[in-house]
């Protein structure tokens, strides 16, 4: 049997649908848990020799490039999850094009 495994690489404050409660302008002020938690996931995947696709927010890739390199070095696929985790149905076509 073949299965697919994906990981949405986002931090606890990258929540959709809470406009006004947490904005990208505030994100740098929050405690990040992304490195510690991603390393736990990577150890678990390594232990069981499992590969996954990591859907990464552009914000995280920009802020934590070494983490993205570590994911890639372990042989996982990296894909985009948008830059700021915005819902596609709330964006114009132009906004969607620019959100990668």
The rounded distance, in Å, linking the Cα atoms of 20 and 55 is: 25
Architecture of domain 6-98: Alpha-Beta Barrel (3.20)
The distance in angstroms from the start CA to the end CA of the chain is 33
pLDDT tens, residue by residue, 45-82: 999 999 999 999 989 999 999 999 999 999 999 998 88
Query: Where are the domains positioned within the chain?
Result: 6-98
Nearest CA to 61 out of 78, 42, 44 is that of 78
Provide the whole-model pTM: 0.84
The rounded distance, in Å, linking the Cα atoms of 24 and 50 is: 32
């Amino acid at each position: 049997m073949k299965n697919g495994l994906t990981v949405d690489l986002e931090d606890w404050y990258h929540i959709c649908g809470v406009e006004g409660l947490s904005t990208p302008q505030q994100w740098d002020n929050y405690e990040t848990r992304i490195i510690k938690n991603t390393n736990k996931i990577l150890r678990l995947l390594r232990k069981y020799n499992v590969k996954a696709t990591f859907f990464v927010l552009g914000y995280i890739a920009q802020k934590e490039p070494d983490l993205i390199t570590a994911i890639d070095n372990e042989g996982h696929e990296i894909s985009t999850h948008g830059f700021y985790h915005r819902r596609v149905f709330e964006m114009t076509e132009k906004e969607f094009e620019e959100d990668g």
